[in-house]
Amino acid sequence: MTERIVLAYSGGLDTSVAIGWIQEATGAEVVAMAVDVGQGGEDLETIRQRALDCGAVEAYVADARDEFAEEYCMRGLKANTLYMDAYPNVSALSRPLIAKHLVAAARQYGAGTVAHGCTGKGNDQVRFEVAITSLAPDLTCIAPVRDLALTREAAIEYAQRNDLPIVTTKNNPFSIDQNVWGRAVETGFLEDIWNGPTKDVYDYTDDPEFPPPADEVTIAFARGIPVAIDGAPVTPLQAIEQLNQRAGAQGIGRIDIVEDRLVGIKSREVYEAPGAMALIAAHRELENITLEREQARFKKLVDQRWTELVYDGQWYSELKDSLDAFIDDSQEHVSGEIRMTLHGGRATVTGRRSDDSLYDFNLATYDEGQSFDQSAARGFIDIYGLSSKQATARNQRRG
C-alpha cells in the first residue's frame, strides 16, 4: 500500500503547490484536509475540489465553526486573552483545533505523516507540530515550505508550469490568516514599521473615522459565556458573528503592533477582531463586579500566563490544563448583563447588572442611608500603615 501524508490545506498558493512537492519528494499520496473555522471567503467545496485538481487523492473537509467558537474562542474569552495586552490570539486559538483534525484525518486515512504550509520564521510551525506530537507522538511532521526553503516566486513558477487551478500573482502584498475570532495581516509594505496601514489592509472593520450612528448592545453572560444579545438567545458562534458585524461597522477591533514572536524575532502585525474585542471588554467588566478582589488580582496573572502558553503553542500542556481549572472555577459567578455603546472605534461599557454582583449600593454611596461604618477606617489605616511607619522611624534614627 502506498504511503499517505495528510496535508493541512488552506486552498492558497503554498499548500496547493505543496501537494505536488510532497508527492515528488516522497512518493507518497497526499490527503488534503481543510477545516472551516469561520474564515469566510471561498466555499469549502470549491477548496476541496481544488485540492483534488492539484493532485490530492482524497480531500477531507470539516465544519468546525461551532467547535472552534465553543471550545477554543470561549476559553480565550474566559481568560480575557490579550497577548502583549493587545492581540486576542486570533491564529493561536485555531491551530490546536486544526491539529486535532489533522490527527483525526491521519488515523482515518492510515497516514503516518502530517504536513503543513508554515515557514520557518513564524509561530504556527511550532503550534502545529507541538500540538500534533502532543496528541499523537507516533506521527511525523513535515513542512515543505520551511524544510525546502521554497520561496513565493518558486511556488508561482511551479503552479504555472504545472497548470494548477489557482490564481498566482507576484503583486499580492499581504499574508492573511482569518477565522471567526479575527483576521491577521502581515508582510508586504507593513514590514516597514513606519508605514501606516492603508484601507485595503482591512476587511472585517469599517473606517472608525466615519462611523454610522452609535449602536447600543446588551450582552448577557452565564458563567463567563455570552448567551444572549439584546435579549435574544445566541450560541457562542452567533455571539461572535453578530458582534463582528455590529462592532466591525463601527471600526472596533483594529490592532497594529510589533509583536514578540515565539521564535525570537519581532514582527509587525495588523489584526482585526471586532467581535472578540467587544466580548472581552464586556466580559472583563462583568468580572469587575462579580469577582472577589484577591481572586480578580490573581486571575490577571493566570490570564496572562494562559495567553502566553496558547500563543506559544502549548494548548495541550499540563500547565494549561491546570490554569483552565482555575479559570473555570473563577467563572462560577460571572453571570449577568453588560450594556455597551459601540461607536467610532470604541466599545464603551455604560451599564452592568448581575444577581451575583459584589457591588453594594448602600456600602458605596456617599448619600444618607449608607451602611458603611466610616469610624472603622481610622483603626484600619493605623494597622495597614504600621509596617511602613516603623521602617521610616528606623531610617530616621539611623540618619
pLDDT tens-digit profile of 286-297? 999 999 999 999
Q: How far apart are CA 135 and CA 346, in angstroms?
A: 40
**Residue 15 counted as an annotated binding residue:** yes
> 234 with 137, same domain?
no
**Residue 117 counted as an annotated binding residue:** yes
- Residue 39 belongs to some domain of the structure: yes
Report pLDDT for 369. Answer: 59
pLDDT digits (tens, 9 = 90+) for 294-320: 999 999 999 999 999 999 999 999 999
* Sole residue written with cell 518558486: 154
- Residue 381 belongs to some domain of the structure: no
> 54 with 88, same domain?
yes
Higher local confidence (pLDDT), 22 or 147: 22
- Residue 272 belongs to some domain of the structure: yes
> 301 with 342, same domain?
yes
| CATH assignment at residue 317 | 3.90.1260.10
- Residue 27 belongs to some domain of the structure: yes
C-alpha distances in angstroms, 108 versus 1, 111, 117, 268, 325? 15, 8, 21, 39, 32
**Residue 175 counted as an annotated binding residue:** yes
- Residue 10 belongs to some domain of the structure: yes
Domain region containing 87: 4-172
* Range scoring the smallest mean pLDDT among 115-124, 197-206, 256-265, 327-336: 115-124
> 259 with 156, same domain?
no
Q: How many structural domains does the chain have?
A: 2
> 186 with 282, same domain?
yes
243, 282 Cβ separation under 8 angstroms: no
Q: Which of 137, 172, 207 is the last residue of a domain?
A: 172
**Residue 259 counted as an annotated binding residue:** yes
Over residues 174-188, mean pLDDT: 89
Residues designated as active site: 14, 95, 124, 175
Backbone angle region of 217, left / alpha / beta, with phi > 0 → left and psi within -120 to 50 → alpha: beta
> 128 with 10, same domain?
yes
Q: Which of 172, 201, 223 is the last residue of a domain?
A: 172
- Residue 203 belongs to some domain of the structure: yes
Average pLDDT, the chain: 92
Higher local confidence (pLDDT), 254 or 61: 254
Angle between helices 236-249 and 274-290 (to 10 degrees): 110
Report pLDDT for 361. Answer: 75
**Nearest 5°: CA angle at 133, between 128 and 136?**
120
> 11 with 110, same domain?
yes
C-alpha distances in angstroms, 72 versus 15, 82, 385? 24, 14, 45
Question: Is 368's pLDDT higher than 70?
Answer: no
- Residue 383 belongs to some domain of the structure: no
Question: Is 112's pLDDT higher than 70?
Answer: yes
Q: Which of 172, 192, 218 is the last residue of a domain?
A: 172
**Residue 36 counted as an annotated binding residue:** no
> 298 with 332, same domain?
yes
| CATH assignment at residue 102 | 3.40.50.620
Q: Nearest-CA neighbor of 162 among 18, 375, 334? A: 18
> 34 with 120, same domain?
yes
- Residue 61 belongs to some domain of the structure: yes
> 240 with 292, same domain?
yes
> 128 with 193, same domain?
no
Report pLDDT for 170. Answer: 60
* Sole residue written with cell 521554497: 150
**Residue 14 counted as an annotated binding residue:** yes
**Residue 350 counted as an annotated binding residue:** no
> 49 with 141, same domain?
yes
